[in-house]
Amino acid sequence: MFNKKVVEPNRLDPDTKFKFACYPGVSCFTRCCSNIDIMLTPYDVLRLKKRLGISSEEFLEKYTGVREDEQSSHPYAYLKMLDGEDRLCPFLKNEKEGCGVYEDRPISCRYYPVGQTTMKKSNEKGEVEHDEFYFFVREEHCKGFEEDKQWTVSEFRDDQGAEHYDSMNRGWKEVLMRRNLPGQPRLDDKKQMLFFMASYDLDKFRRFIFDSRFLEMFEVDEKELEQMKEDDVALMNFGFRYIKFLMMMENTMKPRAEVLTAKLKELEEKQAEWDAKETEARKEAGLAEPPGSGKPGKDKKTGNPKNKK
């Protein structure tokens, strides 16, 4: 995440022109690879763990820390910088060679010195749309703006491979915009664990789907299931849908009919238990039954409830 002090409060469009270049000959080369907090997206983690040839669990344990967002209580993974005053990126080779995972670097690194954000807005029909726009990040140490190479924002994004990352992260951005309602408690520990697993820990999420009772609870297309056994991107996109269901953002999952029936029975039993306790409490307090609480008897012939007169 960028320090707000270095963010220029001017909206950039895809056709906005600017001059910038970053290469080993620039005096500030690799200065942006230290003392920075980088929030990782699920696709960032997917690419990096594959690059390193390790599991998602190993990557998260070794290279990330977790922070809880104050407005949503979502747990997000941040790249863990090395110990020391400079807090260097763990993937920095050295000051001359630069990034050691350049082809698989996170989206924040690809965009720098451009930032991107998404906001909700209503169109003329009152429908909610997602408005993506850009801004400059101007840090005092960065000399790249003094170079002669000219771009439009659109050209810069193409050169950095940002469009592909954005397309992979689009479902994730919709989740990012969720906020806790006023007075709503933070997400409980179980929901936070499921949110983090479905977002970042794809290897564990795959086991969760195929080795737990998950498929007894939800209907999932057979072709999609087969794809998710091997394809991390398909699994990641399924994870976004699961999170939206978990956070009650959208009805993106289909619970099995028997699960709904069992849940309804459970709710009815809990309601009956609560009613009995409430009735007993009113009796002990000497209070009459509230209006409308009496249940009509059943007709002996039909078995249907009798109408109250």
Domain count, the chain: 1
Residue/partner pairs of 264-268 with CB below 8 Å, 24 or more apart: none
Q: What is the pLDDT of residue 78?
A: 97
Query: Rounded to two decimals, what is the model's pTM?
Result: 0.81
- Is 89 among the domain residues? yes
Q: What is the pLDDT of residue 2?
A: 52
Q: Is residue 255 reached through a cis peptide bond, with omega within 30 degrees of 0 on the bond before it? A: no
Q: What is the pLDDT of residue 111?
A: 94
Using a 10 angstrom Cβ sphere, with 0-12 exposed, 13-18 middle and 19 or more buried, the burial of residue 81 is buried
Region class of 98: left (phi > 0), else alpha (psi between -120 and 50), else beta: left
- Is 163 among the domain residues? yes
Q: What is the pLDDT along the chain (309 residues), one digit of tens a residue?
A: 556 678 888 899 999 999 999 999 999 999 999 998 999 999 999 999 999 999 999 999 999 999 999 999 999 999 999 999 989 999 999 888 899 999 999 999 999 999 988 776 667 777 667 778 899 999 999 999 999 999 999 999 999 999 999 999 989 988 988 888 888 788 899 999 999 999 999 999 999 999 999 999 999 999 999 999 999 999 999 999 999 999 999 999 998 888 777 766 776 777 778 778 878 877 887 776 655 555 555 455 555 555 544
- Is 304 among the domain residues? no
> Which residue, 147, 136, 191, 119, is CA-closest to 29?
147
- Is 11 among the domain residues? yes
For 294, list phi and psi in degrees, rounded to 5: -70, 135
- Is 150 among the domain residues? yes
- Is 93 among the domain residues? yes
For 68, list phi and psi in degrees, rounded to 5: -95, 125
- Is 80 among the domain residues? yes
Summarised one tens digit per residue, pLDDT across range 241-293 is: 999 999 999 999 998 888 777 766 776 777 778 778 878 877 887 776 655 55
Domain ranges, residue 104: 4-176
- Is 227 among the domain residues? no
Give start and end residues of each alpha helix (H) in the chain: 42-52, 56-63, 107-111, 153-160, 162-176, 189-199, 202-211, 214-217, 222-228, 232-246, 257-284
Q: What is the pLDDT of residue 4?
A: 66
Segment holding 151, helix H or strand E: strand 150-152
Q: Are 234 and 171 in contact (CB under 8 A)?
A: no
Q: What is the pLDDT of residue 309?
A: 47
